[in-house]
Structure 1
Amino acid sequence: ADQVSKEIRRLASFVPNVKLLTLCGGIPLRPQLASLVHPPHVVVGTPGRIQELIDQGALSLDDIRVFVLDEVDRMLDMGFQEAITSLLKQSPTSRQTLLFSATIPDEIRKLSRSLQRDPVEVATADGADLPEIEQQFHEVDGTRRFDALLRVLTTYRPESTLIFCNTRRDTQDLADGLAQRGFSALALHGDLEQRDRDEVLMRFSNRSCAILVATDVAARGLDIDDLPAVVNWELSTDPDVHVHRIGRTGRAGRKGQAWSLVAAAEMPRVAPIEARTGLSVRWSKLPSMGGSGEPILAVMSTLCIDGGRQEKVRAGDILGALTGDAGIVSTAVGKIGIFATRSYVAIRRDQAATALKRLRDGKIKGRKFRVRAVD
């Protein structure tokens, strides 16, 4: 939802006075209630929180013109069909309803027939993005999977890697294990609070975290610019999920790498993946430990500023404060993310301590803000 909101804000930047709200669970209700005093033009949110705000009389769907269901196949997998149907029944029948999905199983066609009038289906060709992704499958001993992962990472040393696990427990355990070995690694899964998720995603997207270990649900729809590599810690039981996983890399015409660690028990999952992609998998021998096994570190560090859109803080204000009085060269400043009440800025690691001190001693837009290092 946050990614969609950011993209809509970018697209609407030349349209005056567009009010957009992101309404999701996991964060306090009170600020959202306050924001709804003046009705928004666009709402991006999750079904549960939107229904909660409707029940409190804070949000009305009476004037909805367009209703979009994104990642609808996963919404159904997560049990949201009843909530979705309820929300649509509360909106005008004259609305336009758009469904977006990575796959179109029978359940979605049935949902379409019940929610849409004379719908038009638009589909991309299967496997259209696969040629830009170099896949390698490695047969591993299930008891030595972690050692196999270290070999792959330390040999190829991608600057940024997304690792997929099948369970939340594996996700956290693997991220902790990599961090204990000195790697810059974080976990992303459903047990995290919304603020923690935001920080994890921001750190990964701005290169202040080198490795993100995630479950499929947590990583659904992730749009990370120029992601060099994806690793399947374990093969998915669903070939469509496998295609979705590796599709996080090799995007927008770029080339990507995808490595899959496959134990004996997972071998029956390989043939359905070949059938789904129309490609024979490429089996490769595991490399020996590369680079003396040195861990992969992040090239950037993240600073958090306790001021965001509500304080009218813009990316240009932060960049100006850093390159002006703080004296940081612009090439040392990375991605800047602005949220409602806070902002994040990536700084080259060797300049982070200097930037932190000078931002704390100085001002942004003529005001003092609390600034802290996230990592």
Structure 2
Amino acid sequence: MKFTEFGLDDSLIESIAATGYEEATPIQEKVIPIILKGHDLIASAQTGTGKTAAFLLPIIQRLLQHSNDGQVNGMVIVPTRELAIQISQNLEGMSYFTSISSIAIYGGNDGMNFSTEKQALSRGVDLVICTPGRMIAHLNMGYAKLDGLQFLVLDEADRMLDMGFHDDIMRIIGKLPAKRQTLLFSATMPEKIRQLSRKILHQPEEVNIAISKPPDKIVQEAYVVYDSQKQPMLEHILTNTQCKMILIFCSSKQNVKHLARDLKRAKFKIAEIHSDLEQNNREEVLMQFKSGRTPILVATDILSRGIDIDNIDLVINYDVPHDGEDYIHRIGRTARAESDGVAITFVNEKDQNRFAVIEQLLGSPVRKAMVPTELGPVPDYKPRARRGGGGGKFKNGKRQGGYHHHKGKSQKPHKPQQPQQPKQ
């Protein structure tokens, strides 16, 4: 279905056309008409399905038809600052030829930004993209003009609940008008999400476009190793690979710090990103990585969801992810757009059962690659969690079997160098 078939405003169509997009993704095709009709929505959709444009485009369309002056008209709540920035950038591109005003509100920046945020919330702005904690800080001061709010979006709701934001979300919602359109997007639908939806949604439509498995073009491999072999194995891969953009995931910020320190000592050009970094430092690290000036980035799961970085050749799970969904999100950072990619996971003895559960979710075993003989003997792959299906046993590396800132409406919109593509 083409975007021109949704009945969108000419200025909005012009903004979409400037990005080079013509055809809607499946979730956009299903969700946009529902939102345009004013229904509440609960949607299961992961990053990469086009979900950000699926909710932003119809909200922009409806705001072009009716916007409450002097009020905050719409709010998008997201789990991380990085995602708030990304959605805000996409919004600027999609609203480029319209009069829609917007602002991203998130913690970790300076007092001048807080003042700008306060001004937007007190004078009114069409769309706010925010993290829960920062919005609570503003709401506690009492100046946010929310009486005319028409739209509320919870993006990556499961992630927000996992991060402990349930109470903050309910506090924010308690300040909003009861009569509003609420849209909830979540990569997964556990019972806690169902419970939240029953509290905040009114007779919602439901859409399921979740990606349950990674794309076939991602080549997946695993190295079964002892914990002490993980770093030598990683250095062997980094030394011999032809990949130019490499993202390494660790399961904790302590592991990120230790690994980054050791890799720097080994003379690899790397950077690290985790929650202990100041926001301006995190943004600088991401910019250096995206531009290719830093070819290797060691990160926590803060980057596994919702961050749009193309051209990553190789994703390495230095630690096995906590569950299958996290695994899919992590390796989904590669093979984006039209490119291919490789995902490698190091599996030590204590993580074998967890990795076996991930293989069950995938529906087939991940190929176990050969560990270089100079690294010594490796453990057998003998997970107890596997139920049926061969994972194969590996010893000594051999298989042994089986297998925008705020834009006031009176202002001319700031022209970005290139309108952002409505990918997410």
Taking structure 1 as the reference length, the TM-score comes to 0.74
Residue 22 (structure 1) aligned with residue 22 (structure 2)? no
Q: CA contact under 8 A between 2:271 and 2:285: conserved in structure 1?
A: yes
Please give the secondary structure, in 1, of the residue aligned with 2:207. coil
* Pair 283,186 (structure 1): closer, same or farther in 2 beyond 3 Å: same
| Aligned with residue 139 of structure 1, among 211, 224, 227 | 224
- Partners of 1:31 and 1:270 lie apart in 2 by 43
Could you tell me which amino acid in structure 2 is paired with residue 105 of structure 1?
P
Please give the secondary structure, in 1, of the residue aligned with 2:98. coil
- Residue 109 of structure 1 corresponds to 194
Please give the secondary structure, in 2, of the residue aligned with 1:8. helix
Deviation at 1:270, TM superposition (A): 2.1
The 5 A counterparts of 1:284-295 are 284-287=369-372
Unmatched segments (≥5 aa) in structure 2: 1-83, 375-404, 408-412
Deviations 1:228-264 (A, max 9, x none): 1110001023121111111111223431110001111
- Partners of 1:287 and 1:61 lie apart in 2 by 61
Deviation at 1:139, TM superposition (A): 1.1
Deviation at 1:28, TM superposition (A): 2.4
Number of equivalences: 299
Q: CA contact under 8 A between 1:160 and 1:227: conserved in structure 2?
A: yes
Unmatched segments (≥5 aa) in structure 1: 290-307, 317-334, 338-375
> Considering only aligned residues, what root-mean-square deviation do their CA atoms show, in Å?
2.4
Please give the secondary structure, in 2, of the residue aligned with 1:130. coil
| Aligned with residue 226 of structure 1, among 288, 293, 311 | 311
- Partners of 2:117 and 2:348 lie apart in 1 by 51
- Partners of 2:335 and 2:162 lie apart in 1 by 26
Q: CA contact under 8 A between 1:151 and 1:288: conserved in structure 2?
A: no
Could you tell me which amino acid in structure 2 is paired with residue 23 of structure 1?
I
Could you tell me which amino acid in structure 2 is paired with residue 73 of structure 1?
D
Deviations 1:310-343 (A, max 9, x none): 9x98665xxxxxxxxxxxxxxxxxx999xxxxxx
Deviation at 1:39, TM superposition (A): 2.0
- Residue 49 of structure 1 corresponds to 134
Please give the secondary structure, in 2, of the residue aligned with 1:122. strand
- Partners of 2:373 and 2:246 lie apart in 1 by 19
Q: CA contact under 8 A between 2:92 and 2:419: conserved in structure 1?
A: no
- Partners of 2:186 and 2:348 lie apart in 1 by 30
- Partners of 1:288 and 1:89 lie apart in 2 by 61
- Partners of 2:406 and 2:230 lie apart in 1 by 44
The 5 A counterparts of 1:52-201 are 52-124=137-209, 126-201=211-286
- Residue 92 of structure 2 corresponds to 9
Deviations 1:100-129 (A, max 9, x none): 122111100111111101122222254354
Deviation at 1:309, TM superposition (A): 9.6
Q: CA contact under 8 A between 2:93 and 2:416: conserved in structure 1?
A: no
Q: CA contact under 8 A between 1:152 and 1:286: conserved in structure 2?
A: no
* Pair 288,202 (structure 1): closer, same or farther in 2 beyond 3 Å: farther
Please give the secondary structure, in 2, of the residue aligned with 1:177. helix
- Residue 210 of structure 1 corresponds to 295
Could you tell me which amino acid in structure 1 is paired with residue 357 of structure 2?
P
Could you tell me which amino acid in structure 2 is paired with residue 121 of structure 1?
E
- Residue 304 of structure 1 corresponds to none
- Residue 31 of structure 1 corresponds to 113
Deviations 1:65-113 (A, max 9, x none): 1111111111101110011011112111221111112211110011111
Please give the secondary structure, in 1, of the residue aligned with 2:343. strand
Deviation at 1:35, TM superposition (A): 4.4
- Partners of 2:131 and 2:182 lie apart in 1 by 16
- Partners of 2:246 and 2:94 lie apart in 1 by 29
- Partners of 1:12 and 1:252 lie apart in 2 by 23
Deviations 1:199-255 (A, max 9, x none): 111111111111111111354322101211110001023121111111111223431
Could you tell me which amino acid in structure 1 is paired with residue 354 of structure 2?
R
Please give the secondary structure, in 1, of the residue aligned with 2:186. coil
Could you tell me which amino acid in structure 2 is paired with residue 39 of structure 1?
G
Percent identity of equivalent pairs: 35
Please give the secondary structure, in 1, of the residue aligned with 2:367. coil
- Residue 402 of structure 2 corresponds to none
Q: CA contact under 8 A between 1:226 and 1:249: conserved in structure 2?
A: yes
Larger mean Cα displacement after TM superposition, 32-41 or 59-68: 32-41
Deviations 1:152-185 (A, max 9, x none): 2222231001111011011112122222222221
Could you tell me which amino acid in structure 1 is paired with residue 102 of structure 2?
L
Please give the secondary structure, in 2, of the residue aligned with 1:56. coil
Please give the secondary structure, in 2, of the residue aligned with 1:121. strand
* Pair 91,255 (structure 1): closer, same or farther in 2 beyond 3 Å: same
- Residue 348 of structure 2 corresponds to 263
Deviation at 1:31, TM superposition (A): 3.0
- Partners of 1:109 and 1:35 lie apart in 2 by 32
* Pair 49,29 (structure 1): closer, same or farther in 2 beyond 3 Å: farther
Q: CA contact under 8 A between 1:129 and 1:251: conserved in structure 2?
A: no
Deviation at 1:60, TM superposition (A): 2.6
- Partners of 1:266 and 1:157 lie apart in 2 by 28
